[in-house]
Structure 1
Amino acid sequence: MNTSVRRLFDDLRTLRVAVIHPPGEDRDILERQLHRIGCQIRIVWPFPSQLPVDADVIFFLVGPELRNAGNWCAADTEATLIALSDYENPTALKMLLDTQAHGVITKPYRSTGILSTLVLARASSGYQQRLDSKVRKLEEAIKARRHIEKAVRILMDAHHLSEGDAYEHMRSRATSLRVTVGEVATMVIDAHEAMEKLGLGKVSKP
């Protein structure tokens, strides 16, 4: 067994799993298999109005109870969501899509298939979280760049500097103050806005 596969199985044995399903044979099958895998299981029923906290994986029943619970979406939790469905009509499929579940198990539940669904769902969830993290970093970088560009324009207009000189001035000040260029840009923008509020800002020519 290679290192990545061993790490995967070690991860499964430490998972905190919430199972949202009414009592019965179906839940017993699911619970037994999760115990065999080594997961730490917590049974939740009736259906909660909020996503359970302190859970790495949430198995949840797709049915009227889910619809009554309101918003229930993978975007609202870091946990892996695995849907449990006993029918495939348009209403159930719509609810399933709305949850953005990372995996689905349909009835009748069997011991075979639960492990593979869990593994694939965890992989899908992890991949999605990495993508979301990259998107957030890109959005922050774009926002910071626009912030700096705004400060550069203020310096260019107020002090008749070229774009390169305005940026170099902020970079130099950032180095001497031991802060980022973005923080210096904030100082420039805040000072400019304060002067405008005092009526001391430079009046633009029409």
Structure 2
Amino acid sequence: MRSILVIRVQPIAADSPGAIPLTPEKVLGANGYHVQVTDREAEVAKLAREAEAFILHLSLADVTYWVNCLGKGKSDAPLLWWCAPDTASSSLEVCEVETSFDGILTPSMTGPEIHWTLHFAARRYMERKQWEQERKQLQSRLEDRKWIDMAKAILCDLKQISESEAYDLLRKKAMDERKRMVDVATAIVKAHQLLQS
């Protein structure tokens, strides 16, 4: 992971007069990373395609908006938050963001700490994506099961047959019509609901 996109929308304030604040691009650039910085939505969509990680140098109140901007561009890469005095001064209510960060970087991190944080963020990101995919598959199966169970109940009631016989009837109908069983079940339930109304 070498190419990183930093999203920053607020001006950088130094802690004390004359002090130069440590920004993600300074810290990461000093450790061999290619860093691009933007604060414009149109530029985020363009630059995000090439980035291998995203760092949000924002207050937590702004995080959701910019994560949605990244999502519009279908950008897939680890997401990290730059936790520094200028971004961490939010109230506790703002800290309850819905965004899942894959890691947090701070200005005081050393080179090896940054490398390991980015490495573990990439692993965390891959795990998170796998969990999301498994979750979607499970939700889809549960939804399919719901339609099949409703269709079985309708068939049991109308034909005065057992659940296993209703299941066999659904399966046979799906095979005869070369359709998925859930599609046949959905059609039965919707037709039954239409006739009942």
TM-score (norm 1): 0.69
How far apart are the structure 2 equivalents of 1:112 and 1:93? 31
Aligned residues of 1:60 and 1:82 also touching (Cα < 8 A): yes
Which amino acid in 2 is paired with 1:91?
Answer: S
Which amino acid in 1 is paired with 2:7?
Answer: I
- Structure 2 residue aligned with 1:130: 130
Ranked by relative contact order (alpha carbons within 8 Å, sequence separation 6 or more), the top structure is: 2
Point out where structure 2 has 5 or more consecutive residues left out of the alignment: 13-20
Q: Percent identity?
A: 21
Point out where structure 1 has 5 or more consecutive residues left out of the alignment: 1-11, 198-206
How far apart are the structure 1 equivalents of 2:79 and 2:105? 11
Change over 3 Å in CA distance of 1:108–1:193 after alignment to 2: same
How far apart are the structure 2 equivalents of 1:101 and 1:179? 41
Is 1:20 aligned to residue 7 of structure 2?
yes
How far apart are the structure 2 equivalents of 1:97 and 1:122? 23
Q: Spell out the pairing of 1:1-206 with structure 2 (5 A cutoff).
A: 12=1, 17-21=4-8, 26=23, 27-35=25-33, 41-45=35-39, 53-54=48-49, 55-63=51-59, 66-68=60-62, 71=65, 78-87=76-85, 91=90, 98=97, 99-197=99-197
Residue 73 of structure 1 and its aligned partner are, at CA, apart by 5.4
Which amino acid in 2 is paired with 1:17?
Answer: I
Which amino acid in 1 is paired with 2:140?
Answer: E
Number of corresponding residues: 177
Residues 154-184 of structure 1, C-alpha deviation per residue, up to 9 Å, x if partnerless?
A: 1111121221111111100111111111111
Residues 4-50 of structure 1, C-alpha deviation per residue, up to 9 Å, x if partnerless?
A: xxxxxxxx25xx53112468753223134353xxx5x432136x599
Change over 3 Å in CA distance of 1:119–1:134 after alignment to 2: same
